[in-house]
Amino acid sequence: MPPERPRAVTINDVAALAGVSIATASKALNGRGQVRAETRDRVFAAARELSFQPNPLARSLVTGQTRTVGLLTSDSVGRFGIPVMLGAEDAFGSGETAVLLCDARGDAFREQHYLRTLLARRVDGLIVVGESTDPRPSISRDLPIPVVYAYAPSDHPEDVSFVPDDVAGSGDAVRHLIALGRRRIAHVTGPTHYTAARERAEGALAALQTAGLPLSGDRVVYGAWSQRWGRHAAEIVLNADPEVDAVFCGSDQIAAGLIEAARERGRRVPDDIAVVGYDNWEVLSEETRPPLTTMDMNLELLGRTAAQHLFAAIEGRATSGIHRMPCRLVIRDSAAPPTIR
């Protein structure tokens, strides 16, 4: 005869070992109701000793929660969306919460289909991850569950959104260049219709104004998020001000192209021109010659923080509004003090 399967440990066994009622054991394990600290510790000790695993269905019936959340994205293969999702998943994993990932691919009909699917699965909450920092339409008003927006903020002021603080980050980038002794600083960035391009220009100009310095070339050079644009922009910057000694670029792609074109024109980076990028896209920033000083948006931390706030929202403790997360300067050779290079 095959060996008899061991009986699954139940909450009744935990309660008996802890010397409490089944109701008290349930409250302690689910964090509900008033249970004294020493009683809760005794229940958890009994659960560990017995290797007790709560039944998810039974727990959902007691708590009204399924311990599953939805992660809805339009950028599942992008270099911005992936680190945000990794950070969020890390936080959910530590909270023993399952994640259902849905990629709408920027399609509004696909997004609505996935929303209906997630609601049918009775998820406790939802994180919406955008593909840029441009505001997106709110979906919170139509849903019976909490929603937190990450990277792309909601256009509704009462929603909870987490975005990188591009104004402060670009200000830090320019202040770094000023601290290196650079005084003729240009700014090259992406298209004007992107929130990121406008906010990074705003932060750069504010830092220059505070330092009493003009913008080299007298204007922000807007264009595209590409290396090709960076190469073309280098010509514009060098022709507008041949004495330019630093360039803050709105993305690493732009910076890589600009460094390449500057080198072709006989300008040494960083000796003649210091260059700072944005995004810390390591495929580029670590491989550029020389390696690129850049602003890191801390996207994994942003995703982790968004997930932690979703937990709070599920418990009724949401903090509405747009929360701006700090960026971090990563210093490499393209704009480093001589002692570091």
Q: What is the pLDDT along the chain (341 residues), one digit of tens a residue?
A: 445 556 677 778 888 998 988 778 877 776 655 778 888 889 888 888 888 776 554 454 444 567 889 999 987 667 788 899 889 888 887 667 888 889 988 888 999 999 999 999 889 999 999 989 999 999 998 889 999 999 999 999 999 999 999 999 999 999 999 999 999 999 999 999 999 999 999 999 999 999 999 999 999 999 999 999 999 999 999 999 999 999 999 999 999 999 999 999 999 999 999 999 999 998 889 999 999 999 999 999 999 999 999 988 988 887 899 999 999 999 999 999 876 65
Q: Are residues 174 and 283 in the same domain?
A: yes
pLDDT of residue 61: 40
Q: Are residues 147 and 242 in the same domain?
A: no
Q: Are residues 245 and 276 in the same domain?
A: yes
Q: Are residues 202 and 269 in the same domain?
A: yes
- Is 28 part of a structural domain of the chain? yes
- Is 149 part of a structural domain of the chain? yes
Give the domain range for residue 251: 166-296
- Is 1 part of a structural domain of the chain? no
Q: Are residues 196 and 280 in the same domain?
A: yes
- Is 333 part of a structural domain of the chain? no
> Which of 237, 258, 246, 242 has the alpha carbon at shortest distance from 181?
246
Which two structure tokens, joined as six digits, stand for 264?
């072709």
Pairing type for strands 293-296 and 328-330 reads: antiparallel
The CATH number for 32's domain is 1.10.260.40
- Is 221 part of a structural domain of the chain? yes
- For the chain, the domain total comes to 3
Question: What are the CA-CA distances from residue 168 to residues 5, 209, 232, 243, 331 (Å)?
Answer: 61, 14, 27, 27, 17
The CATH number for 116's domain is 3.40.50.2300
Q: Are residues 97 and 183 in the same domain?
A: no
- Is 59 part of a structural domain of the chain? no
Q: Are residues 315 and 233 in the same domain?
A: no
Q: Are residues 34 and 149 in the same domain?
A: no
- Is 173 part of a structural domain of the chain? yes
- 3-class secondary structure per residue, the chain: CCCCCCCCCCHHHHHHHHCCCHHHHHHHHHCCCCCCHHHHHHHHHHHHHHCCCCCHHHHHHHHCCCCEEEEEECCCCCCCHHHHHHHHHHHHHHCCCEEEEEECCCCHHHHHHHHHHHHHCCCCEEEEECCCCCCECCCHHHCCCCEEEECCCECCCCCEEEEECHHHHHHHHHHHHHHCCCCCEEEEECCCCCHHHHHHHHHHHHHHHHHCCCEHHHCCEECCCCHHHHHHHHHHHHHHCCCCCEEEECCHHHHHHHHHHHHHCCCCCCCCCEEEEECCCHHHHCCCCCCCEEEECCHHHHHHHHHHHHHHHHCCCCCCEEEEECCEEECCHHHCCCCCC
Report whether 20 contacts 45 (CB < 8 A).
no
Q: Are residues 133 and 226 in the same domain?
A: no
Q: Are residues 151 and 207 in the same domain?
A: no
Q: Are residues 50 and 73 in the same domain?
A: no
- Is 230 part of a structural domain of the chain? yes
pLDDT of residue 340: 63
Q: Are residues 174 and 277 in the same domain?
A: yes
pLDDT of residue 277: 98
pLDDT of residue 4: 52
